[in-house]
Structure 1
C-alpha cells in the first residue's frame, strides 16, 4: 500500500500516485508496455485476482513487471514526508528516502527498543515500559535459571547411571573371560592383557 498523500508537504505529481490505492508509490514497479506504475504490494494483490493492467486492461503478469525509471525514483525520494510516529509526538519532516533510517532511531517510535532503567536492564519495546515490573521479570529469570539447573542435574545423574552400568558390564565381561581362561590354558596371554589394562586404569 502506498503512503498517505496527506503526509506530504505540497502537491504530489499524479504520476507518483498508485492507481490502485491512490497513495504515493511505495516500492514502485512498472508494467513493461503501458508503463503504468504501481506499489509492489498493490499490484501483487491485484494479480492474485486477475492478470491485467488495472488502468488500461492490457494483459500483464507479475513476471513482466520491472523497476520504475530512475527519474521517477529520484522524484519520489525528494518528496518531503512526515514521520510515521507523528501521532506519538514526532514533528520531523524529511525526504522520503531518509524515512526508514529515521524510523529506526525515532525517539517517538512506540516499538523502539529501550532498556529498563529501574534496575533490571531488560530491553523491550518502548510502549511496554510503563507496564514493566522489574521484580516479576527478575523472578521469571530466576525461575528459568532454576529450571535449567534442575535439567542439568538430571542429565548428570543419567550420565552417572549409564557410566555405572557400563563399568558393571565391563567387570562382568572380565569375569567371564577369566572363567574361559581357567577352562582353556591357551588364553593365558588374554588374561595378562586384561590385567595389564586394569593396572593402567
Structure 2
C-alpha cells in the first residue's frame, strides 16, 4: 500500500526481504495470497491494481479479486507485527507494529475531533489540547441535554409506531366484526366497558372508554 501516514519503519534494512510487498515495496499490511499462483501482496495494493488490470503483478496470470485469501500463517504475521516503527505524530520510536493500534489510541499528538463533533463542533486538534478545548466548547456543555432529548424522541417515536400498529389492527378487527357502520343517532355499545353511547356528527368514531388506558399499558 502507500506509505503509512501514521508510522515509518525504523529497521528497514534488517527486515527480511520476504516480508516486502512487490507492489509498494513496503512491509506487508493485511497480506493476501493468490489462490492460483501463491503470490502475496498487501490487500489494498492488489485492490488498487485490479482497478486497471486483472493480472498477478508478479507472474501475469489472469486472476480475479475473489481469488485471494488472507494470510493467516502465525510465524509470518508475527514477523510483521514485530517490525519496529516510529510514530509520525509524536515521534515515539521502537514501537512494535503489532502494538501500534494501542499506541495511536493514547498518542498525545494525533489529531482528533471534538467530543461534540456529532452536533457540529468542527474543532480538531492534538489529543493533549483536548481538555483545554472541552473547557470552553459550548456544544460539549449542552451535549448531555441533547443526548437525553434524542433518547426521549426515540422512545416517543417507538410509542407512536406501536400505537399506529394498534390502530391498524383495531381498524381491521372493526371491519371484520362490524361490517355495517352505525347510522346517525343510533345507540351502540362499547365492546370493552359495555357502555352505551349515541353516534352523532361530532362524535362519530371516538369513544372514551374508562376501563382501559392504552397509554398506561405501553
Shorter-chain TM range is 0.5 to 0.7
| Structure holding more helix per residue | 1
Q: Mark the runs of 5 or more structure 1 residues left unpaired by the alignment.
A: 116-121, 153-175, 181-186
TM-score, with length taken from structure 1: 0.56
Compute the displacement of 1:54 (Å). Answer: 0.6
Compute the displacement of 1:27 (Å). Answer: 0.5
Aligned length: 149
CA–CA separation in structure 2 for the residues paired with 1:70 and 1:44: 23
Q: Which residue of 2 aligns with 1:109?
A: 110
Structure ranking higher on relative contact order (CA contacts 8 Å, 6+ apart)? 2
CA–CA separation in structure 2 for the residues paired with 1:114 and 1:51: 43
Q: Which residue of 2 aligns with 1:100?
A: 101
Deviation per residue, 1:125-165 (Å, 9 max, x gap): 543759958666259949x97xx8xxx9xxxxxxxxxxxxx
Compute the displacement of 1:100 (Å). Answer: 0.9
TM-score, with length taken from structure 2: 0.52
Aligned to 1:21, what secondary structure does the other structure show?
coil
Compute the displacement of 1:31 (Å). Answer: 1.6
Deviation per residue, 1:34-84 (Å, 9 max, x gap): 322111011011112111101111122111112223332121111111124
Q: Mark the runs of 5 or more structure 2 residues left unpaired by the alignment.
A: 154-183, 190-194, 199-206, 212-218
C-alpha RMSD of matched pairs (Å): 4.2
| Structure holding more strand per residue | 2
Q: Which residue of 1 aligns with 2:35?
A: 32
Q: Which residue of 2 aligns with 1:168?
A: none
